[in-house]
Every structure is written in C-alpha cells, then in structure tokens.
C-alpha cells in the first residue's frame, strides 16, 4: 500500500513541476525579457487564469506526504525549516506581485511589483532545484558527530550553507556546489518551459525572440545536465545501480533526452505547442529519473549510524493508507473535472484575457 502512495506523491510533484514550472519560467522571462508594457501583459495573460490552480498541486502533495509518510513529513519540515519559510514568502510575493500590480497605474508601483513577481519566480526555481539536490545528496540524519548520533534517528537540521560549501562535509548546508548546480539547472529548464508556454498561449511579438532564447538556453541546459551526470559519482559511488538492476527504468532517461534534443528544433516547429511538449518531457523524465535513482530511499542518510528514510520505514499504518485510497479517487475525479473545464474554457491563445487590469 505504501508504494501506491509513493507513486501518487511523486506523480503530484511531477504535475506541480510541469504546471507551476511554466509559471516560474514565465516570471523569469518577465524579469529579463519583457521590456514593453505589451510584452508584460502578454506574459501575465498567458499564466493569469492558471497560476493559482497550479499551486494547489504543491499543497496536495504536502497533504499526501503528511497523511502517507508522517515521519518523513516531520523530519523534512523541521530539517528544512529555514528554506521552507523562504519559499513560503517567495510564493506570497510572487502572488501579490501578480495581483497588486494592476491596482494602481503608476510607473513606480508597477515596477515594484514587476520585480517582486520576477525575482520571486527566479528564486523559487533556484530553491526547488536545490531542494531536489538535497534529496539526492542526503542529510546527516541523527546529527552524527564523530561517529555518535546526537539526536533521534530521523531528526536533522541544516543551515543555509556550511563553511566549506561542500556536499561531502560532516556538517552539511542547504546550499553547496552540488545543490547549487541543480538549482541552476532548474532555473534554466523552467525558463525554457515558461518561454514555451508563452509561445504556446500567445501571439506576442516577443515569441520570435523567445524561440531564439529557448534554442540558446538549451545548449546551456545540455551542458549542465551532462556535467551533473559526470559529478554524480562524487555524491553517489553507484548512481545508476537501480537502472542496472531494473533495465526498464532506462526509459526515463530516454524521455529526458528526447525532450532535451527536441528543444533544439524549436525554431522549426510548425505548431506552437510542440516546444511546450518537449520541455514537459524533459521535466517529467528528469524528475522521474532522479527519483528512480535513489529508490526506495526518500531521504538518504549521509552517515552509517542511522538508516536512510525509505518508503517502508516512514509510511503510516496500512489501515489508514487503505482507507485513504477510497477518498483519494473521489478527490482525483473532482480535480480532473476541474482541470478539464479550466483548460477548455481557456483553450487557445490568451492575448485578450486582460488579467490583472482594474
């Protein structure tokens, strides 16, 4: 039963990355490439009807984590307390940047909330990428020092960084050179994803420029992905052991590189939605490949004293998990109905939506 909920949790996070990911990317595009008011309106129109619904998937994933894997929930929310508070404030500023900008038509007021929206989107992409890096790298469960656990086996706490900035130090930090690399990969990937969404949903004059941006950034993304694969051996001596043991898992990296290579043809696509399709494949394949590489671990331990948190040792009681399954399918049907209606109502180009105008 715990494996069912594990799949559901990963699926919810994957949906969140794809849906709210294009919101983050649109915010980054807004920050660096939207120079005119017309361009800014095109970007906010493209994401306006969707961004708040997309965030619900993060809340839903948190609910599943609390319900199905309470030990992991308790461990993660205490250990990652500082970055979680920062993420919360960034989510708030991104939202109010969208909602408050149109309340007063004054250049200074609009500039403040434009920056709030763009910078918050950029930092959210960076932080979520670094969060994935922390999960891959692992944490010092039990706060082991000199071979002795100073806390309970599932407890840890991380500062934002350590003195050595190293992912192999005894006292780890949230940000080190490895997690920062994954954060940069997330920023680049989501910028591409957001640009593809804007191209897909608008007829903006910015679209031609964005196709060129996607093409150039994809070279950067490709180089970063290859570099991350090469240095993965420093973090995990046998990073591909699951893929060797279960060869069918190689389909996940295949999906990742299909998306990555497909994006090199963005300038020649005849339909605007193809770019978004390929960036979606890259995000889904990359996230699932990463998760598959550490399975069944959910949060690896960097010491030999306390075991990693796995699907089996952090799951709730089987009775509760089985009872929750029935209610999950009811909720799933309702969510799918909502999403189908939402995307049918706002299908096609969004240039004339006028989001945020007062």
Residues ≥6 apart with Cβ < 8 Å to 142: 149, 150, 151, 152, 153, 154, 155, 156, 301, 303, 305, 306
| pLDDT of 358 over the 70 cut | no
Question: How do the domains of the chain map onto residue ranges?
Answer: 2-345
The predicted structure's pLDDT at residue 356: 63
| pLDDT of 327 over the 90 cut | no
- Least reliable range by pLDDT among 177-181, 253-257, 275-279, 353-357: 353-357
The predicted structure's pLDDT at residue 196: 96
Q: What is the mean pLDDT of the chain?
A: 90
The predicted structure's pLDDT at residue 237: 79
> Which of 311, 299, 325, 320 is closest to 154 using CA atoms?
299
- Give one word for 147, left, alpha or beta, with left for phi > 0 and alpha for psi -120 to 50: left
The predicted structure's pLDDT at residue 21: 94
Distances (CA, A) of 120 to 64, 84, 125, 204, 342: 26, 14, 9, 23, 25
pLDDT band with cut points at 50, 70 and 90 for residue 164:
confident
| pLDDT of 292 over the 60 cut | yes
Taking only the tens place, the pLDDT of each residue in 118-154 is 999 999 999 999 999 999 999 989 888 888 888 888 8
pLDDT (mean) for 317-346: 87
Please spell the DSSP secondary structure of 86-108, one letter per residue. Answer: HHHHHHHHHHHHHHHGGGS--HH
| pLDDT of 285 over the 90 cut | yes
Distance CA 272, CA 238 (A): 40
| pLDDT of 357 over the 80 cut | no
Distance CA 116, CA 91 (A): 10
In this structure, the number of other CB atoms found within 10 A of the CB of residue 225 comes to: 18
Task: Please report where in the chains the tokens 């995000």 appear, as a residue.
Answer: 283
Taking only the tens place, the pLDDT of each residue in 20-69 is 999 999 999 999 998 888 888 989 989 988 888 899 899 999 999 999 99
Distance CA 91, CA 97 (A): 10
Classify residue 45 as exposed, middle or buried by CB count within 10 Å of its CB (0-12, 13-18, 19+).
Answer: buried
Distance CA 176, CA 169 (A): 10
The predicted structure's pLDDT at residue 37: 86
> Which of 37, 42, 43, 51 is closest to 94 using CA atoms?
51
The predicted structure's pLDDT at residue 302: 87
The predicted structure's pLDDT at residue 36: 87
Kindly report the pTM of this predicted structure: 0.93
| pLDDT of 328 over the 90 cut | no
């Amino acid at each position: 039963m715990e494996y069912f909920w594990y799949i559901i949790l990963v699926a919810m996070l994957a949906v969140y990355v794809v849906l709210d990911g294009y919101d983050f990317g649109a915010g980054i595009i807004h920050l660096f490439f939207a120079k005119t008011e017309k361009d800014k309106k095109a970007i906010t129109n493209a994401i306006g009807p969707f961004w708040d619904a997309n965030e619900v998937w993060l809340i839903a994933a948190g609910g599943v984590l609390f319900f199905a894997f309470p030990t992991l929930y308790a461990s993660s929310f205490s250990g990652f307390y500082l970055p979680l508070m920062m993420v919360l404030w960034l989510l708030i500023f991104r939202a109010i940047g969208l909602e408050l900008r149109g309340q007063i038509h004054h250049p200074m007021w609009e500039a403040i909330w434009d920056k709030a929206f763009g910078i918050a989107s950029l930092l959210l992409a960076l932080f979520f990428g670094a969060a994935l890096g922390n999960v891959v790298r692992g944490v010092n469960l039990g706060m082991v020092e000199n071979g002795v656990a100073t806390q309970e086996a599932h407890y840890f706490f991380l500062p934002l960084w350590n003195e050595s900035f190293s992912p192999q130090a005894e006292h780890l930090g949230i940000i080190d050179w490895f997690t920062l690399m994954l954060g940069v990969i997330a920023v680049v990937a989501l910028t591409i994803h957001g640009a593809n969404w804007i191209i897909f949903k608008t007829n903006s004059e910015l679209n031609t420029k964005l196709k060129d941006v996607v093409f150039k950034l994809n070279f950067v993304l490709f180089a970063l992905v290859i570099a991350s694969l090469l240095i993965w051996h420093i973090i995990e001596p046998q990073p591909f052991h699951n893929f060797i043991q279960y060869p069918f898992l190689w389909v996940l990296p295949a999906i990742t590189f299909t998306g990555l290579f497909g994006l090199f043809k963005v300038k020649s696509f005849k339909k605007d939605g193809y770019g978004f399709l390929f960036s979606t494949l890259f995000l889904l394949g990359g996230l699932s490949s990463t998760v598959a590489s550490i399975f069944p671990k959910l949060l690896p331990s960097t010491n030999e004293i306390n075991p990693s948190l796995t699907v089996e040792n952090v799951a709730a009681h089987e009775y509760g998990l089985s009872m929750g399954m029935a209610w999950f399918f009811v909720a799933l049907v309702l969510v799918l109905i909502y999403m189908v209606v939402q995307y049918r109502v706002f299908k096609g180009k969004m240039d004339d939506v006028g989001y945020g105008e007062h």
